[in-house]
Amino acid sequence: MAPTGEQHLLSTEILNRGVETSGPDAGSMAFSVRVRRRLPDFLQSVKLKYVKLGYHYLINHGIYLAAVPVVVLVFGAEVGRFIREELWQKLWDTTAAYDLLAVLTFVVVFIFTLSLYFFSSPRSIYLIDFACFKPDDDLKVTKEEFIELARKSGKFDEASLEFQKKILESSGIGDETYVPKAIMSTENISTMKEGREEASMMMFGALDELFEKTGIQPNDVGVLVVNCSVFNPTPSLSAMIINHYKMRGNILSFNLGGMGCSAGIIAVDLANDMLQANMNSVAVVVSTEMVAYNWYPGRDRSMLIPNCFFRMGCSALLLSNRRRDYRRAKYKLEHIVRTHKGANDASFRSVYQEEDDQRFKGLKIRKDLVEIGGDAIKTNITTLGPLVLPFSEQLLFFSTLIKRYLSGTTKDKGGVTNPRNSSPASSSKPYIPDYKLAFEHFCIHAASKTVVNELQRNLGLSDANMEASRATLHRFGNTSSSSIWYELAYLEAKGRVKRGDRVWQLTFGSGFKCNSAVWKSVRHVEKPSTNNPWLDCIDRYPSEALSQSSQVHPVNFN
């Protein structure tokens, strides 16, 4: 979602309380803001069609692989039969010609089947390395400085400043996040010039680091994918990169706009498709968002929330389908599962860019965003489950799901689960699979403290599993589609990624969309000594602030 837009599953409702009858504000309109602090228990109702969809993915990806053991077994049995009949003695008999022809025929079929599998199966896609942009320290602000700078800009009244202050206090964001200097200017900052300057600083900073780390020359890049939700100039951001680095003229370039915080995985999926179609190629994926260009200077409180959460950030990663890159790659792409709820009108308008009554542009967050986001996440992880969960977990999940289905558990019109009978089985909850058995590391989009806490509760994850998400939110804020790469950089800075480890990246954003990417480490990732955004502060995490962030307290802002 756009930096201003994914204000993430933090549902805000503005209530008109009428006219104040007393106090210093007597005679003026009074409003209260109610912030919903919990995601729904989205694993309490699972639709079988999404489980079925997950197995559809599995069958599509494994059909050729499943044929290989069958061919091997048949071939082994045939060879065994010939050995038992003393094949070598029969080669000189009158029937030897027939037996030899049968063997040669089977060998040809076996080789053909293997060739069909290797040429038809998807190419392995490797993540050679990635880089996360770290702004200069002069762009760093504390929460108090943020409010003071907003006050000095003259764009907000006291009520709006107080509202933003209360949001920041419960946001999970620390005092070292980065914002462009332009956002506190008294002038209009939503200009193309300001947007291009911020984009150049972040994209070129991340790409310079990526090219330095990998040794790849810009002219060697065959595919370029850039995603930025709200800021989409002409020429495009991808064209800016091609012009700056003087890339080759036949590069396949793509620019994704308006796709929200989940666009990072969408960009990886597009690069994956391009690499499947183009042999011996490398692809660069850049994920970012422009904070200044998306800044909202008005008074609509549902549009002010993005100002509080989004901060500067950009990631750049290098993907390759070349077999020789396996030795130096860090990760191999295992799965990508995408879920889009845009066909539903409520989902489509849950985060909506529009103008307020003062004609200020901003992202409107609807009050039902919590339920919409929970449904999209539930659908995505239900589809992903059959691809990644051990058989034991799938068996337990299905047994309790079928038991609950046969017991006749239904939902009334209000969405409350009611059994048709009073037996304990009818009200039992479905078994929640243990995703810790499928993954060693979790990079869940650092949208807000509320979202991180509620996903932890729903998925049954530990504080250690959510540490990277909480640390990223605290240190860098919500950096939109690039946040999952700051989280993976955190895990690498801690030296926790070992050979064979599986990493789950989960993102969600406007549309409404939820996407998952699964990576497998192909080697032990050493602690970085340079070119990592966490090097100057990694020893301070996990901190006491993260422990406090794991506690959820419902809040009403009046």
Residue 524 among the catalytic residues: no
Beta strand 351-355 with 331-340: parallel, antiparallel or unpaired? Answer: unpaired
| Beta strand segments in 179-281, E | 223-227, 252-256
User: Which residue of the set 132, 443, 458, 474 is catalytic?
Assistant: 474
Q: What's phi and psi for 320, nearest 5 deg?
A: -145, 145
User: Which residue of the set 132, 445, 453, 465 is catalytic?
Assistant: 445
Contact 478, 309 (CB under 8 A): yes
Residue 478 among the catalytic residues: yes
| Beta strand segments in 91-176, E | 126-132, 140-141
Contact 510, 5 (CB under 8 A): yes
In angstroms, rounded to a whole number, what is the distance separating the alpha carbons of residues 522 and 131?
18
Place of tokens 């699979």: 433
User: Which residue of the set 380, 478, 515, 532 is catalytic?
Assistant: 478
Distances (CA, A) of 360 to 6, 37, 124, 297, 357: 18, 27, 47, 7, 7
Cβ neighbors of 8 (< 8 A, separation 6 or more) are 1, 261, 309, 373, 445, 447, 448, 450, 451, 478, 508
In angstroms, rounded to a whole number, what is the distance separating the alpha carbons of residues 4 and 171?
15
Contact 366, 354 (CB under 8 A): no
Residue 61 among the catalytic residues: no
In angstroms, rounded to a whole number, what is the distance separating the alpha carbons of residues 516 and 429?
25
Residue 56 among the catalytic residues: no
Q: What is the four-CA torsion angle of 101, 102, 108, 109, rounded to 10 degrees?
A: 150
Q: What is the four-CA torsion angle of 549, 555, 557, 558, rounded to 10 degrees?
A: -150
In angstroms, rounded to a whole number, what is the distance separating the alpha carbons of residues 235 and 239?
6
Cβ neighbors of 432 (< 8 A, separation 6 or more) are 43, 397, 458, 459, 460
Q: What's phi and psi for 177, nearest 5 deg?
A: -85, 170
Contact 332, 127 (CB under 8 A): yes
In angstroms, rounded to a whole number, what is the distance separating the alpha carbons of residues 26 and 70?
82
Residues assigned a catalytic role: 261, 340, 441, 445, 474, 478
